[in-house]
Amino acid sequence: MSVTSDRQALVIGASRGLGLVLADELARRGWRVIATTRQDGGELQAHADASNGRLTVESLEMTSREQLAALRERLEGCRLDLLFVNAAIDRGDLAIDEVSTGMFTEVMITNALSPLRALEALRGLVAPGGTVAVMSSEQGSISRNTEDGYELYKASKAALNQLMRSYATRHADDGQTKLLIDPGHNRTQLGGPDAPLSPRESIPAVVDVLEAQAGAPGLQFLDRHGEPVPW
């Protein structure tokens, strides 16, 4: 594995779980990493303090347009090779007729609308040939939706994927690689304690995919092995 010191990444949503491990893994490989969290301190800050300057922390509530604009202003002049948006919530295994309007709105804003707002607000920091990526899920695959359960979460990820298709179409000529990443079912607060994978197992493979796909044209929906996930 080659380690370089000139690549820079911004990871949105890195306070815990997959995002935290992603920030750590990139830093371990020699990237300079800016990682965001909604709350100061915590595990991310501890990791940053121990990173010898490879990892720095910025405060961001991703659902706030004002905070996105403020982050963009703070990072003015920063050149990114990777912008990765990792953010999702789940409100339980409910049939769609049991989901309140407020719950539906909250999940869709967090899982689908806000990641694309983040890309639009921050994409100007990404160098031509750089990568914009969003953490998706196989659960967002319409063709693979053959089992009951988690209807709202699945819908939010399918919406995310569709919005990313629109984003990629609108920005087809910007020279940036565009990826939706399915990291597999991980033992996180979202994935639950019985999931078959740990972030420490899956995220190094995810970073392998990010590095291998750098410079690739168009939009791809890939799993942690770099294999296409059906839409």
The model carries a pTM of 0.93
Specify the amino acid at residue 185.
H
List, for residues 116-150, the tens digit of each pLDDT value: 999 999 999 999 999 999 999 998 999 999 999 99
Provide the 3-class DSSP secondary structure of residue 133: strand
For residue 13, what is the DSSP state? S
In the sheet where 32-37 sits, what is the strand order? 55-59, 32-37, 8-12, 80-85, 126-135, 177-182, 219-223
Distances (CA, A) of 33 to 55, 76, 78, 212, 219: 5, 16, 12, 18, 23
* pLDDT over threshold 80, residue 82: yes
Q: Is pLDDT of 186 > 80? A: no
What pLDDT was estimated at residue 199? Answer: 76
With the CA atoms of 222, 195, 36 and 38 taken in that order, what torsion angle do they form, in degrees rounded to the nearest 10? 140
Residue 157 contacts residue 198 (beta carbons within 8 Å): no
Specify the pairing of strand 55-59 against strand 32-37.
parallel
CB atoms inside a 10 Å sphere around CB 90? 17
pLDDT value, residue 69? 98
Cα–Cα distances in angstroms (integers) from residue 217 to residues 121, 129, 179, in the given order:
21, 9, 10
What is the dihedral angle through the alpha carbons of 203, 199, 146, 210, rounded to the nearest 10 degrees? Answer: -10
Q: What is the pLDDT of residues 188-203, one digit of tens each?
A: 566 666 665 677 888 9
- Dist. CA 108–CA 105, nearest whole Å: 5
Closest by Cα among 3, 211, 7 to 126: 7
Residue 68 has pLDDT above 80, yes or no: yes
